[in-house]
């Protein structure tokens, strides 16, 4: 976490999303790097307001879907929002505060970025502008400090596995990928062959998006391969997998998972899927390959070095630089 003096810190900070873990974590990556403790707000518009294009009309702050957190004054000095459903609410908060709330949107808003004080978006998207900070991946909370804290804590989980230890981050169904059981079983067989050839142990975690039938097929494909598998029971050892791994294999379906892996400095081997990736995702992968961060998983263990991603720190530094002049408004 980057040190920040009291004079540089906003007095109050909100994180606003519709509640998806990936969105929340991207925002928290920025607050971690800033050194501030945010109030986490989960809210989304309701009814026709949920269908209204945010660039056309912002929803009212007091008409929200059931289960939403209240968005009432006093409004924060800094708002960090992520997710399509949060855009209209973020703009409404900016207006309700009289422009005193500094609004940051994470990801491509697909509208004029000048509507926000700062936009933090990946370079594989199209958004550009004087108030846009481009990242190579998704801001995340994987830092040297977080990895160091997790390494010893979770090491006993993997003590009985062969080395090298390879973490496997298993994705699932998306708009562009089905990850059907047959595909999952084939991937399991590939990993079993890899582990046998390299005398490697596998430490595996699945995504919330992994279909249960596909997960069962994947396990069947692995057979009796030595492995640790996180089944969702107990504390999530995700950071422990990343910290203890000698390399990471990740399926080609998630910007967040691949960005996490590339923030470790470990070799990252991307397992391709049956369905071709969307153009923007292909651009994301191509960029990381050109930067020397990822390679395709081809059934063998690879060792190589690169400078880990540090997107959250880069974005936080620019945000900190812009915050002080904004207080004179």
- Same structural domain, 268 and 283: yes
Nearest to 263 by CA among 233, 239, 286: 239
Residues 56, 185 within the same domain: no
CATH code of the domain covering residue 80: 3.40.50
210 with 290, same domain: the answer is: yes
The pLDDT value recorded for residue 8 is 56
> pLDDT at position 81, please?
98
In a domain, 250, yes or no: yes
C-alpha distances (whole Å) from 1 to each of 13, 68, 145, 308, 324 are: 17, 30, 8, 15, 20
Residue 5 domain-assigned?
Answer: no
Do residues 97 and 187 both lie within one domain? no
User: Do 187 and 92 fall within a single domain?
Assistant: no
**What pLDDT is attached to residue 326?**
60
Which tokens in the block code for residue 122? Answer: 């990946």
The DSSP bridge partners found for residue 205 are: 169, 230
Which tens digit of pLDDT belongs to each residue from 123-145?
999 899 999 999 999 999 999 99
| pLDDT score of 11 | 84
Q: What is the pTM of this model?
A: 0.91
**Residues 94, 195: one domain?**
no
Write down the pLDDT at residue 129: 96
88 plus 173 within the same structural domain: no
| Both structure tokens of 105 | 């949107």
Which tokens hold the place of 126?
A: 């199209």
Which strands form 132-135's sheet, in the order they lie side by side? 39-42, 13-17, 78-82, 102-106, 118-122, 132-135
Domain containing residue 172: 144-296
Residues near 68 by beta carbon (within 8 Å), at least 6 away in sequence:
42, 43, 44
Strand positions, DSSP E, 136-254: 165-170, 201-206, 227-230, 247-251
* pLDDT confidence of residue 327: 56
Are 121 and 55 found together in one domain? yes
CATH code, domain carrying 194: 3.40.50.2000
Residue 4's pLDDT is: 46
| CA separation for the pair 162, 211 (Å, rounded) | 28
Same structural domain for residues 153 and 128?
no
Write out the H or E segment, with its range, that includes residue 17: strand 13-17
Query: How are beta strands 247-251 and 165-170 bridged, if at all?
Result: parallel
Give the Cα separation of 73 and 238 in Å (integer): 37
Q: Does residue 148 share a domain with residue 133?
A: no
Q: Is residue 149 part of a domain?
A: yes
How far is the C-alpha of 161 from the C-alpha of 220, rounded, in Å?
19
Question: What does R_g of the chain's alpha carbons equal in angstroms?
Answer: 21
Rounded CA-CA distance 78/12 in Å is 6
Residue 302, in any domain of the structure: no
Are 77 and 205 in the same domain? no
Identify whether 170 is part of a domain: yes
For residue 301, being part of any structural domain is answered with no
Query: In the prediction, which pLDDT does 232 show?
Result: 86
Q: Is residue 4 part of a domain?
A: no
Asked if the structure places residue 305 within a domain, the reply is no
* Residue 154, pLDDT score: 97
Taking the alpha carbons of 119, 84, 94, 78 in that order, is the dihedral positive or negative?
negative
What's the pLDDT at 268? 98
Structural domain tally of the chain? 2
Whether residues 32 and 57 share a domain: the answer is yes
What does the pLDDT profile of the chain (329 residues) look like in tens digits? 444 444 456 689 999 999 999 999 999 999 999 999 999 999 999 988 888 888 777 899 999 999 999 999 999 999 999 999 999 999 999 999 999 999 999 999 999 999 999 999 999 998 999 999 999 999 999 999 999 999 999 999 999 999 999 999 999 888 888 899 999 999 999 999 999 999 999 999 999 899 999 999 999 999 999 999 998 888 999 999 999 999 999 999 999 999 999 999 999 999 999 988 889 999 999 999 999 999 999 999 999 999 999 999 999 999 999 997 665 45
């Amino acid at each position: 976490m980057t040190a920040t003096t009291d004079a540089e810190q906003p007095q109050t900070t909100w994180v606003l999303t519709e509640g998806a873990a990936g969105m929340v974590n991207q925002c928290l990556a920025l607050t971690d790097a800033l050194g501030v403790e945010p109030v986490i707000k989960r809210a989304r518009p309701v009814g026709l307001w949920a269908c209204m294009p945010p660039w056309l009309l912002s929803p009212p702050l007091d008409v929200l879907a059931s289960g939403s957190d209240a968005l009432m004054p006093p409004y924060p000095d800094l708002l960090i929002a992520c997710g399509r459903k949060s855009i209209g609410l973020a703009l409404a908060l900016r207006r309700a505060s009289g422009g005193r709330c500094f609004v940051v949107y994470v990801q491509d808003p697909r509208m004029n970025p000048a509507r926000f004080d700062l936009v933090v978006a990946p370079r594989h998207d199209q958004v550009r502008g004087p108030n846009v900070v481009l990242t190579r991946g998704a801001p995340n909370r994987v830092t040297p400090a977080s990895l160091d804290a997790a390494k010893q804590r979770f090491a006993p989980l993997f003590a009985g596995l062969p080395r090298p230890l390879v973490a496997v981050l298993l994705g699932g169904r998306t708009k562009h990928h089905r990850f059907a059981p047959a595909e999952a079983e084939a991937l399991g067989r590939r990993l079993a062959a890899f582990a046998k050839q390299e005398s490697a142990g596998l430490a595996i975690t699945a995504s919330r998006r992994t279909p249960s039938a596909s997960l069962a097929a994947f396990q069947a494909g692995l057979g009796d391969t030595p492995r640790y598998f996180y089944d969702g029971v107990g504390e999530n050892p995700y950071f422990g997998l990343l910290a203890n791994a000698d390399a990471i294999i990740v399926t080609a379906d998630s910007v967040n998972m691949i960005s996490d892996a590339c923030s470790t400095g470990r070799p990252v081997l991307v397992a391709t899927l049956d369905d071709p990736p969307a153009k923007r995702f292909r651009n994301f992968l191509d960029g990381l390959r050109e930067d020397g961060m990822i390679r395709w998983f081809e059934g063998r263990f690879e060792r190589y070095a690169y400078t880990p991603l540090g997107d959250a720190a880069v974005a936080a530094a620019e945000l900190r630089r812009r915050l002080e002049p904004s207080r004179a408004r």
